[in-house]
Amino acid sequence: MHQWLWILIALASVAGCGGLRLDSAPSRDVPLSGTWLVDSAVSDDVGSAMRPDAKFSDRRRQMSTAAEIRRIRRGSGLAYVAHDFQVLDAKRMRIELGSDSMGIQHFPGIYRDVSWGTRDRGIWTVQAGWDDDVLVVASKTRGISVLERYQVQGPDRLVVSLDIEADGNGRSINRSFRR
């Protein structure tokens, strides 16, 4: 009986991966707009978290030589993430929150506009919206996925959590910002 229960749970999870159920508005007013400065003392060390693992993951050990060559030709998924997700390197961010989107100016970095719903942006398919009072942005492309969560904690703290799947490995990074 336990085996069937686990199979049903696994099937439910796979069915749920087709997309998150996000709302177009938060459950309460979220003071996300404003200028945020990184709090390095309580943020994760992005440099070490984004470094490729020295050891092969179990998945890579089981790859055929041809599959490994194809993976190498595609390039490092971590390099794509480090380049496209400026929040990882930002020392400061200015966020403008609208009713249907969010704009973020990263310093250093570029301006990023995120609309609620699902959109294709360059190589990424991006789904954004609200899970209660947490802004969620899920991005996927060619075997790489990044799940960002923007959560305001108190009047002056913003925590941006990133769950990254790339190169056969998972990483979780938390960046903390203060007004």
> What pLDDT does residue 72 have?
54
> What pLDDT does residue 9 have?
40
> What pLDDT does residue 50 have?
78
d(CA 45, CA 114): 25
> What pLDDT does residue 142 have?
86
| Domain range summary for the chain, segments of one domain joined by + | 35-178
Which parts of the chain register pLDDT below 70? 1-18, 52-76
The superfamily (CATH) of domain 35-178 is: Calycin beta-barrel core domain (2.40.128.20)
Contacts of 40 (CB under 8 A, 6+ apart): none
